[in-house]
Amino acid sequence: MSKTKYKYNPNNLSYEEVSVGIGMRILKLLLWIAPSLVAGLLLSFVFTRQMSSPKEKILKRELEKEKLELERLNNEMDLVNNVLDDVEKRDQDLYRVALYADELPNELKSERSLKKAMKKYAYLDGISSSALLKSTSIKMDNLEKRLNKQSLSFRELLDLARHKEKMLASIPAIQPVNNKDLKMMASGYGYRIDPVYKTRKMHTGMDFTAEIGTDVYATGDGVVELIEVSSWGYGESIVINHGFGYKTRYAHLSAFKVKKGDRVRRGMIIGLVGSTGKSVGPHLHYEVEKGGKKVNPIHYYHSDLTPEQYEKLLEMSNNSFKAFD
């Protein structure tokens, strides 16, 4: 039972009973239970922060599994990339060399492409393991590009392998003038002193000196693409298109043994040595073109020379600084 409270009244010099209103009673009750409520809320906050619900525990476990799976995929892609490095090296250093194929373009990673890739996956920002997700996605894109490139390369090599016999017969592989008919190697490929203008000039072929009327041979199978007659420059010359990116030119001839459009075989006589055009003496100027670029013919005599003869020819070519055209 609650205690009755009294208040002294000086007017009538007596004590009067004090009545407590309902509002005051409620206020007192709230003041009494407030510490308990605050303590309960604090305990509830601490409990919920430290102790996860069963559903939260399941979600955390799933996120951890997903992170581990992403890391595993990253490691496996690294292994696949290492294997692909080896495949690309064999493709470039073995298969393409054996089949006389051009090198594949080397695609280098640029800062711009990296920024583009990061922008592509910007939607992953803010997600748990965002950096790992981006890294995995970019690796997957690069791996897909490399595999597609390698697939195209193998398709090209397979086509070349099917036509290997025809290709090997077409690639320039012999000297255009027989060794027994040669007087000397007048000039090789490289910078030489022009015999007319006396200036340093790039000599884009090889000069073989021989008597006028000496036989000139096609160095590979092909089609006569051009018969040229000029009072200067190459003079009377023949261009043979061998296919597979190869062409050869035979210049300063004295006579033709073929006409435009003729199909020729390696070793077939196509003309005779002369001194027509811009020439200071009887010789054959011979050029090899690969993929639209003139290259050193010294690398295309492997079918009719012994190693010793090739070494001698190479030495003569390197030591000769005189050009006949």
pLDDT tens-digit profile of 161-172? 777 888 888 999
Whole-number Cα distances in Å, 161 to 86, 98, 135, 311: 21, 10, 38, 30
Q: What is the structure's pLDDT at 311?
A: 64
Answer whether 0.85 is exceeded by the pTM: no
Residue closest to 211 by CA, chosen among 184, 193, 240: 184
Q: Is residue 59 part of a domain?
A: no
Provide the H-helix boundaries in the chain.
Answer: 22-50, 54-90, 96-98, 111-120, 130-162, 164-170, 307-319
pLDDT tens-digit profile of 163-208? 788 888 899 999 999 877 676 665 778 777 777 777 777 888 999 8
Q: Domain limits at 265?
A: 172-319
Q: Is residue 58 part of a domain?
A: no
Residues 286, 198, single domain; the answer is yes
SS3 194: coil
Q: What are phi and psi of 296, to 5 degrees?
A: -75, 120
Cα 108 to Cα 105: distance, rounded to the nearest angstrom: 9
Q: Which of 40-49, 173-182, 260-269 has the lowest mean pLDDT?
A: 40-49
| pLDDT surpasses 60 at 2 | no
Residues 315, 176, single domain; the answer is yes
Residues 96, 136, single domain; the answer is yes
Residues 141, 87, single domain; the answer is yes
Domain boundary among 98, 128, 162: 162
Q: What is the structure's pLDDT at 1?
A: 46
Dig out the tokens for 116 from the structure: 């583009």
pLDDT tens-digit profile of 145-160? 888 888 888 888 888 7
Task: Determine the average pLDDT of the residues in 68-87.
Answer: 83
Of residues 286 and 62, the one with the higher pLDDT is 286
Residues 213, 303, single domain; the answer is yes
Q: What is the structure's pLDDT at 105?
A: 72
Residues 221, 255, single domain; the answer is yes
pLDDT band at 24 (very low <50, low <70, confident <90, very high): low
Q: Is residue 203 part of a domain?
A: yes
Residues 132, 21, single domain; the answer is no
Residues 155, 193, single domain; the answer is no
What is the number of structural domains in the chain?
Answer: 3
Please count the other Cβ atoms lying within 10 Å of the Cβ belonging to residue 265. Answer: 12
| pLDDT surpasses 50 at 209 | yes
Q: What is the structure's pLDDT at 115?
A: 61
